[in-house]
Structure 1
């Protein structure tokens, strides 16, 4: 059985203060720190250094560039007390080493507590499935504000 997230989960996982429509830094590690700081500023991260270490360790294992212009850096860490997602988009794209060689222009960060393996998998799989649809990616690129990003995600996981 596949566990999925639903519309009500989106509000909890990615409130509008977890969304940035500003251009992120060009490098992968700098972009990861940029996304992490959205969650730090929102009060979702208890230990920034530990979270960053977990994220970078995950990047060392295998790329989080999934193709189609999508990057999803993610980690399980006790540096967070509840599952959280951050989002930024990039006009220029950031090299996340994806299989198709395309830079990531839609970037999501997923952080879940160490004990949240099921949450981690359900968020990652729901998000990945939604982002395979051209229309969802186009709507995220066209979104004019954080509410539009969240509304697109809510509709996509419904």
Structure 2
């Protein structure tokens, strides 16, 4: 499974995207999905410097492909207050999907996950359900449909 209930955080309080990413990486580390928080953070921030992962509609998809990732993952966060993510549409971001895949993956898994997630995020009902969810359990069941698509 790409996601589990322990990789979901609601009402995350953060002031900037680096703080958000660090908090999300901590969840991945606690779940033993990554070996090094520092190495994965560096990888994700390097990708962020290339071009913002703020995709619009209040959504960001920071991601990284790294040797420190033991198992492909999605960490989901819904922010207490939206923050500037330098998104394409200049809107503040409140829904974040942190993706991680092992460097050794030859199947372009990160592209497959991004494609599946992007398709779901074009569905207004899917996004509305996420925004209205109030428990990690609700979010978990909504996000499980990503892997099924």
Task: Give the structure 2 partner of residue 143 of structure 1.
Answer: 133
Q: Which runs of no fewer than 5 residues in structure 1 stay unpaired?
A: 1-11
Aligned pair count reads 147
Partners of 1:24 and 1:34 within 8 A in 2: no
Partners of 1:24 and 1:89 within 8 A in 2: no
3-state DSSP of counterpart to 1:13: coil
From the two aligned structures, give the one with the greater strand fraction: 2
Residue deviations 1:39-71 (CA, integer Å, cap 9, x gap): 011111101111011011001111100001100
Matching of residues 33-44 of structure 1 within 5 Å: 33-44=22-33
Matching of residues 5-84 of structure 1 within 5 Å: 12-84=1-73
3-state DSSP of counterpart to 1:14: coil
TM-score, normalised via structure 1 length = 0.88
Displacement of 1:96 after TM fit? 1.3
CA RMSD, Structure 1 to Structure 2 (Å):
1.3
